[in-house]
Structure 1
């Protein structure tokens, strides 16, 4: 790799220089501490940019119940989204837990089987050939092939007649998934990555741009064999890429801050990329989260900007001159003749004003993007009302007829925040299958909040609305002109309001039983050093890897959860505790605070999703425990906020750190379901509504996977590929449902 091409996983952002307290710091007056523990060649190729996207992520790293009755999700009727199916939830897990291992293949429980469904370079229609190690596929062809580094994913059941969303349909549906970033050296085999004098070949850049983004593919189940395959003849199959034309909606639409040479009126932009986590709406659309996007842009040396512009650029990772990590601004357009396709990746103020260059291009990135899987021709929509930051995930509250919806989100960068957006409109199930029009109704108007955690186990939501609480043009730190300015610079607004710094909030999950919100906090090797311990991360300790001391800090991460007061999404306050602490089974008790054993110990929680039964699926993106085990996925049956109590965690503080932990769960309630191939991250999970097939994504595996676990891919070559796998039970039963079926028998 050219030295100018920075690997995506090295770009963990740390641009929060505010004086806001960290989550655990706010407990200092409330808690005691204990000692520090010793962890292709024609002008038509321009069309290749009309369908892609990209992102980045890696493993870098006194509460009480309100006493009110949990708000019960609406009972689905007809085509209503199946948000809750608690009657199907197992009381405990009886599948045999997978053992920790470092093998170069997937391990699943006894009685289960795995099929590799969709890997990098796979064609999405019959017009394109299979990708092999021995032939180079054109960059343009990747607008019709699987992208790289599969990530967040959702399944949308589809009516066999009418071809519309049907929440309970399992025989056929649309699988929608993100492609977060690329493995350059593998993507360009056998040619190899090329940069000559700092200039990239156009075909390679086309391939990279198109290998980012989102896939929409139709999958069908054979009712006799239960085998699931991609329908290559489906009219719904398509790619959305880092060049696909998109609408800008919400408060930023038409703002001077998003006007560019491409869209002088500030209503359109091109591409979604850095797509990591995801979500879905009650009306049947997909939400993709734009995460580590700032590193894709070049800013020239000597670029002169106003003080206000400079403050915004610095807060979003481009405060100084830098080259884009993939040098997408450098091709000579030798194939397409369209230099504008590449100029847009340079955010320097080159022209006389913003309408003559792309100085504002970065302001159109970092949003939640809505995609209607069932609308082949409709433009995806950037929902700017939900704020601009390193979106990791976006999960909707349980929909209740006649009440507002809330969308919960994390900002996955060091020391960033947790947000929620509450809709002005109240939920009406008649909007199911309403597509982008329903999105306009619910996601363009509402109120954005950021979380502050208090030292007594309570928290509050701080409103981010222009004209309130000092968020106006008289603000001395940053003059907010309007709500567009607040949304585009949500981080600066959150800084000003005094939000609580968190350790890289990643995926979000909403419990279908009681509406509680779970957030993964992956890890922080600098916890206790550059970052003092705080309530999101009460532990700081030295971990040992391969017999040698590792970095100190919160090395294995944890999952925090909170509950809105009176179980209403409009609540201004909440209570919290820490559901699970990642740890090695043999770690000291003040590190392994959840009492994990060899059947369920894990490190660095990342991906996470509640299925409608109330089973919580937890995935890991780890580099700390990988000397003993590959990344994994676990199944959990949680309780609720306040079901545990105070514990004392290992900390840099003299007396340790007292914090609030959820109840310890036995390995019948938290259990390892799979491990992935060596070198990988396990991420992205969804399921058919009958619970008989679960889809899981794997990123950047080592070795020769999937060639060593699939007859099909063994014929195509041995270069490792990210992929989607589908897992089923050999007896055709429900995934992780053995306990329920035994009870019924």
Structure 2
């Protein structure tokens, strides 16, 4: 998601971090076997189901000569999906949508949630961010309200938007657009700056309402709220109360303080909001002598999660003062206790989970669902609920060479839970007990879900880290996945389930560490599920590895959501339309379809359209980031292909992969292009499918700190240049998209 710019401070992109030095078996180790794929073409392609409006024609007959013909009701013509004209690539500082659609800014960084909070000046002087929209709008879900303001799943003209606020636009420690002169770029950081930056992270809930054809937020709504990194949050599930999460803030290990770097989302079948904590490790620091002070296996865990000793924090928040709220950003062992109850040596173990919140009810506790594992979470996608069957939650770990996971509930789905009296209690039922699995993909297009628990002999025998109990496995899910030889992937980000057939789609954004001739532990050769290693030129700069990313999809085997086997193929490969069709543009994308670095992904439950959003740095010399609309088929609707690479030793590396049916102009086209420097992320629709909400994150992110006082040098002035709000500083914002004829989005 958010891509920090200052490598001198961070040493690495926190969203592209690679701390996986395990020596798992990879596809390249079994490619020589060149397993043949049998029964690959399993029937004809299908497209996502489209909704047919109106009733079917009827006829009736009487007996014998008394037969009377009844004039049939005309059958309405089904709406044609993707009937819009594709939006061309663009470098303009605007939001472009198809002809016949309107996009309007709705809710931006700093917008007031309370009548007592002044309107946003957007000049760096604003305060009270506990009562304003946060920054870097990301994943988002819509929750309907009745006209009277009661929860109503079908409410299409009044509702709540719950969303993540992932990060801030920053350079050299400071979140420069938040401060008058760009902020302090040396340590220590002033408390006032730190407090503001902390507060713009987290979650928000804002009421939105349609009046006539226009949507607006409802200031001072009783539903409006902010959740920040200082909000009290409960730990739930197997990790609750474990010694690994004991801190000065919570000596009993039952709660933690806040949530941070929230990225993708999920909407549970019982109507709660799920938020993934993504790249949280970089906000913390450790002293250069902390390994020796600890002297235990926690050093292995910290290194595996990207927080080695001596590492600088992203913003230097630990230097804001002596108050405990600043001390918690320092993970060093500073206390004398044996259990960590007098310092924050265990603080990191309370971060990295799926967080569940009831968007309708502020009185309900917010809970981190530890049974789903701890890693750089993106979205949480549920299997299609079926009464009497277990549910699955599909998830990805967004870092280079990390893994794909799923959680299977112990409880089976009950229809009554679709509308429960207590959504958080229902979350307890389904999300606190079950099994966590990691994916291991084979070169023949099949795969296995491997359980992560102490019952797995590979985890018991793992030499690099000794697991004490189930909580230890979940807190250190990455290490457990290493132990079982899970498949390293090209940055698994969002995932979504196709409502037409239950198949699961994962975006694999990119990976700069793919190479034909690996020379280090972090580099991987191309393999069947991550088959490309190539050079993509951005002007005169060479981008190596898999800079354009791809989308993979799974079909569960016997057992539906609880299956332990699956088949897979690559749905789409990101590429420039003019790239080599034999090695790079394997999906034969045209100029109306080409894209790079897929990130956000969601299937519309109303039209079946698969929406694909990009967070790209590889193709931004040609176009700003974008969103595409797709009507996909199914796993196995394409064909097997072999990519041949010349090795440094003069040999040939042959990589078999499986490519879905090539898209056509009717099944994939560009729907939106965003302003300069922005990522397109977050998507939600009203239940009638006629209104869509999209988030535009960090426009103008490459603006230099030195230019903070000169708006003419901002790389973007959106949304101010679209007539929204005061000042000219760029702001992350939610937009609302409607069709001018009142129809459904995407038709």
User: Which of the five TM-score ranges fits, normalised by the shorter chain?
Assistant: 0.7 to 0.9
CA contact 2:445–2:567 (8 Å) conserved in 1: yes
Whole-angstrom CA distance in 2 between matches of 1:10 and 1:595: 32
Which residue in 1 is equivalent to 2:34?
30
Alignment partner of 1:148 is 2:141: no
Which residue in 2 is equivalent to 1:648?
642
Whole-angstrom CA distance in 2 between matches of 1:427 and 1:401: 5
Across the aligned residues of Structure 1 and Structure 2, the Cα RMSD in angstroms comes to 2.4
State the structure with more CA Rg. Answer: 2
Which residue in 2 is equivalent to 1:606?
599
Whole-angstrom CA distance in 2 between matches of 1:668 and 1:400: 32
Note the 1:37-436 alignment, pairs <5 A: 64=40, 91-134=80-123, 136-138=125-127, 141-161=128-148, 163-164=150-151, 166-184=152-170, 185-195=175-185, 198-222=187-211, 225-303=212-290, 304-332=293-321, 339-353=323-337, 354-431=340-417, 432-433=419-420, 434-436=422-424
CA positional deviation for 1:173: 1.0
| Alignment partner of 1:21 out of 21, 25, 37 | 25
Whole-angstrom CA distance in 1 between matches of 2:467 and 2:42: 36
CA contact 2:31–2:654 (8 Å) conserved in 1: no
CA positional deviation for 1:211: 0.4
Whole-angstrom CA distance in 2 between matches of 1:88 and 1:500: 46
Whole-angstrom CA distance in 1 between matches of 2:77 and 2:733: 29
CA contact 2:137–2:732 (8 Å) conserved in 1: yes
Which residue in 2 is equivalent to 1:437?
425
Which residue in 1 is equivalent to 2:705?
none
CA contact 2:286–2:330 (8 Å) conserved in 1: yes
Whole-angstrom CA distance in 2 between matches of 1:670 and 1:89: 19
Q: Can you give the 5+ residue segments of structure 2 that lack an aligned partner in the other structure? A: 52-75, 701-714
Change (3 A) 1:63 1:365: farther
CA contact 2:248–2:343 (8 Å) conserved in 1: yes
CA contact 1:533–1:651 (8 Å) conserved in 2: no
Change (3 A) 1:367 1:725: same
Does 701-710 or 638-647 show the bigger shift?
A: 701-710
Which residue in 2 is equivalent to 1:727?
737
CA contact 1:542–1:549 (8 Å) conserved in 2: no
Note the 1:514-525 alignment, pairs <5 A: 514-525=501-512
CA positional deviation for 1:189: 3.2
Whole-angstrom CA distance in 1 between matches of 2:645 and 2:547: 12
Which residue in 1 is equivalent to 2:65?
none
CA contact 1:220–1:228 (8 Å) conserved in 2: yes
Whole-angstrom CA distance in 2 between matches of 1:134 and 1:178: 23
Which residue in 2 is equivalent to 1:50?
none
Does 645-654 or 685-694 show the bigger shift?
A: 645-654
Which residue in 2 is equivalent to 1:538?
531
Change (3 A) 1:170 1:9: farther
Change (3 A) 1:379 1:625: same
CA contact 1:98–1:108 (8 Å) conserved in 2: yes
Whole-angstrom CA distance in 2 between matches of 1:2 and 1:662: 38
Which residue in 1 is equivalent to 2:728?
718
Change (3 A) 1:482 1:66: farther
Which residue in 1 is equivalent to 2:629?
635
| Alignment partner of 1:658 out of 656, 660, 675 | 656
Note the 1:460-539 alignment, pairs <5 A: 460-472=448-460, 475-528=462-515, 529=518, 530-539=523-532
CA contact 1:539–1:650 (8 Å) conserved in 2: no
CA positional deviation for 1:187: 3.2
Give TM-score, length-normalised by structure 1: 0.87
CA positional deviation for 1:200: 1.0
Deviations 1:37-67 (A, max 9, x none): xxxxxxxxxxxxxxxxxxxxxxxxx673777
CA contact 1:538–1:650 (8 Å) conserved in 2: no
Structure 2 SS opposite 1:493: helix
Which residue in 1 is equivalent to 2:57?
none
Whole-angstrom CA distance in 1 between matches of 2:169 and 2:436: 35
CA contact 1:692–1:733 (8 Å) conserved in 2: yes
Structure 1 SS opposite 2:468: coil
CA positional deviation for 1:465: 1.4
Which residue in 2 is equivalent to 1:450?
438
Whole-angstrom CA distance in 1 between matches of 2:393 and 2:12: 27
Which residue in 1 is equivalent to 2:16?
12
Deviations 1:7-64 (A, max 9, x none): 99455221111111335654442179xxxxxxxxxxxxxxxxxxxxxxxxxxxxx673
Which residue in 2 is equivalent to 1:566?
558
CA contact 2:630–2:669 (8 Å) conserved in 1: yes
Structure 1 SS opposite 2:472: helix
Whole-angstrom CA distance in 1 between matches of 2:534 and 2:459: 39
Aligned positions, number: 680
Q: Which has the higher contact order (CA 8 A, sep 6+)?
A: 1
CA contact 2:551–2:572 (8 Å) conserved in 1: yes
Whole-angstrom CA distance in 2 between matches of 1:704 and 1:314: 37
Q: Can you give the 5+ residue segments of structure 1 that lack an aligned partner in the other structure? A: 33-61, 76-86, 334-338, 738-745
Whole-angstrom CA distance in 1 between matches of 2:498 and 2:6: 45
Structure 1 SS opposite 2:312: coil
Does 16-25 or 363-372 show the bigger shift?
A: 16-25
Whole-angstrom CA distance in 2 between matches of 1:443 and 1:424: 8
Change (3 A) 1:445 1:652: farther
